[in-house]
Amino acid sequence: MKRVMRHVSPGLAIGLVALSVALGGVAMAGGAGVGASKAAPPKLIYKTSDGQVGPDSVNGELVLCGKGTHVVGGGVSGPGANTNVWVVSSQPVDSGDKGDAPDDAWYGFVDNEGNSDASFQVYAVCARGVAATP
Ligand SMILES: [Ca+2]
C-alpha cells in the first residue's frame, strides 16, 4: 500500500478536520444565492473511534455518521511520540446507506512498523441538513 502521510500529529489531524469543515462550508455557502431559502444551517456532529494496532501490524477503524447525515470531513490521530506508526489511508467511504457515494462514514487505516502496541483515533465530522451530490 502507498503511504499517504507520515507521522501524523494530533494537531495535523485536527487541522485536516478543520480544513474539511471549512471546505464544506464554502461548498454549502456556494449553493446559497438570491432567492435561496432560509433553511437552518447544517448541524455538525463529531464522532470518534479508538483503535489499537499491534507491533508490525496494520489496522483500521470505521466511523459511521448515522442515518440522515453525511460525512463532511474527518481525520486520523496517532501517537505523537511513536514515530513508527504511519497513516496509510484517511478518507470518506460508503458504508451501506442508500447509493454508493462515499458519504456516510470516515475510514482511517494505519501501519505500525514499531515493536510495541500503539493507539490511534479516527474522527468523522458528520452533518445533518446537507444533501450529497453524486
Ligand atoms: Ca454512501
Average pLDDT over residues 115-126: 96
Q: State the Cα angle at 120 between 74 and 53, rounded to 5°.
A: 130
More confident: 97 or 132: 97
pTM of the model: 0.71
Kindly list the protein residues that place their beta carbon closer than 5 angstroms to ligand 1, a single-atom ion.
94, 97, 101, 103-104
Residue with cell 445533518: 128
| Mean pLDDT, residues 59-84 | 91
134 close to 105: Cβ distance less than 8 angstroms: no
For 10-25+41-128, which CATH class? mainly beta
pLDDT tier for residue 78 given thresholds of 50, 70 and 90: confident
CA 23/CA 95 separation, integer angstroms: 22
Ligand 1 centroid vs 66 CA: distance in angstroms?
Answer: 11
Give the residue extent of every domain in the chain.
Answer: 10-25+41-128
What is the reported pLDDT for 37? 63
Q: Is the model's pLDDT at 126 over the cut of 70?
A: yes
Indicate left, alpha or beta for 131 from its phi (over 0: left) and psi (-120 to 50: alpha).
beta
Centre of ligand 1 to C-alpha 25, Å, is 20
The pLDDT value recorded for residue 91 is: 98
Does residue 123 sit in helix, strand or coil?
A: strand
Q: Is the pLDDT of residue 5 over 50?
A: no
Given the C-alpha cell 489499537, which residue does it identify? Answer: 52
Q: How far apart are CA 64 and CA 48, in angstroms?
A: 9
- The pLDDT of residue 133: 66
